[in-house]
């Protein structure tokens, strides 16, 4: 397969999830072999490659940093880029995060669609998992194991009946991503919002872009798109985090209460030993 980028620049304005500031995001074509690169135009054009080894923070979103700059909450955009199977792209920002938009990946897919995909010379590379690797923290874990397809097996469990226990096994395809995973919104707990705001976090969260859990129910249930939207969004996050591998991972991902920290730890474990993987044409 040839490599893919977008046909032309496209921009959108929106609110950043954590800082609450207005941010302009521009997606631009990139030369074959560039990979996915972020550029902070508000910080003298500092660039940061979308790589797992440049992740510096995973508490409430995945943050990458290099050259004196950082970009946070990249997982939704990275999931959309992976869902569209884009290999080379320049992401230009004038703020610390991409805008949250609709709290999903489908919003970014719509932006990519408006820019159109185009093929360019060069072979698309994938990473095939050759042997099992895992990352654990308490009862939570994430595993990559050999598989001929890109399979995701995820389970979450929360005490509130608004979520409960949700489990989904899903095989990646661009069409399936658009239908099953991309529209799933992020979620949060209203009881934690005031404390997060005091720390300068979640200031851009709203009842229009985040499924808000209030006790045993949802404060904005009309926004919910799937009965099991919470586990679907966790798969969305995992796709975005695993996209920092630098190419599609051919293997089976299993997550149990896994989040950004374990997803990144899993990639670091994978690449710690060359026997764990091999690069192949996609």
Residues serving a catalytic function are: 260
H or E segment at 15? strand 10-15
Helix, strand, coil percentages for the chain (3-state, nearest 5): 25, 35, 35
> CA 145, CA 169: separation in Å to the nearest integer?
15
Write down the number of H helices and E strands in the chain. Answer: 6, 21
> CA 77, CA 98: separation in Å to the nearest integer?
8
How many CB atoms neighbour CB 229 within 10 A? 22
Which residues, 6 or more positions from 57, have their beta carbon under 8 angstroms from its beta carbon?
63, 70, 72
Q: Is 159 exposed, middle or buried, given 0-12, 13-18 or 19+ CB atoms closer than 10 A?
A: exposed
CA dihedral over 212, 215, 221, 226, signed as positive or negative: positive
């Amino acid at each position: 397969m040839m490599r893919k980028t977008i046909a032309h620049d496209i921009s959108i304005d929106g609110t950043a999830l954590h800082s609450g500031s207005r941010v302009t995001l521009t997606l631009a074509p990139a030369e074959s072999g560039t990979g996915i690169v972020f550029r902070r135009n508000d910080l003298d054009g500092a660039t940061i490659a979308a790589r797992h080894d440049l992740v510096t923070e995973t508490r409430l979103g995945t943050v990458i940093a290099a050259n004196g700059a950082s970009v946070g909450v990249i997982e939704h955009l990275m999931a959309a880029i992976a869902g569209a199977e884009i290999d080379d792209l320049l992401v230009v920002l004038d703020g610390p995060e991409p805008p949250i938009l609709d709290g999903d990946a489908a919003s970014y897919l719509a932006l990519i669609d408006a820019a159109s995909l185009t093929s360019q010379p060069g072979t698309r590379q994938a990473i095939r998992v050759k042997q099992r690797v895992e990352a654990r923290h308490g009862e939570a874990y994430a595993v990559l194991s050999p598989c001929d397809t890109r399979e995701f097996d995820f389970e979450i469990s929360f005490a509130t009946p608004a979520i409960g226990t949700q489990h989904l096994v899903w095989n990646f395809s661009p069409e399936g991503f658009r239908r099953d995973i991309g529209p799933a919104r992020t979620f949060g707990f209203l009881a934690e919002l005031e404390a997060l705001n005091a720390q300068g976090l979640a200031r851009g969260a709203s009842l229009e872009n985040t499924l808000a859990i209030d006790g045993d129910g949802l404060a904005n249930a009309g926004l919910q798109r799937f009965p099991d939207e919470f586990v679907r969004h966790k798969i969305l996050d995992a796709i975005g985090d695993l996209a920092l591998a630098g190419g599609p991972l051919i293997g089976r991902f299993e997550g149990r209460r896994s989040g950004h920290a374990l997803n990144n730890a899993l990639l670091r474990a994978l690449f710690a030993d060359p026997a764990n993987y091999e690069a192949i044409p996609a």
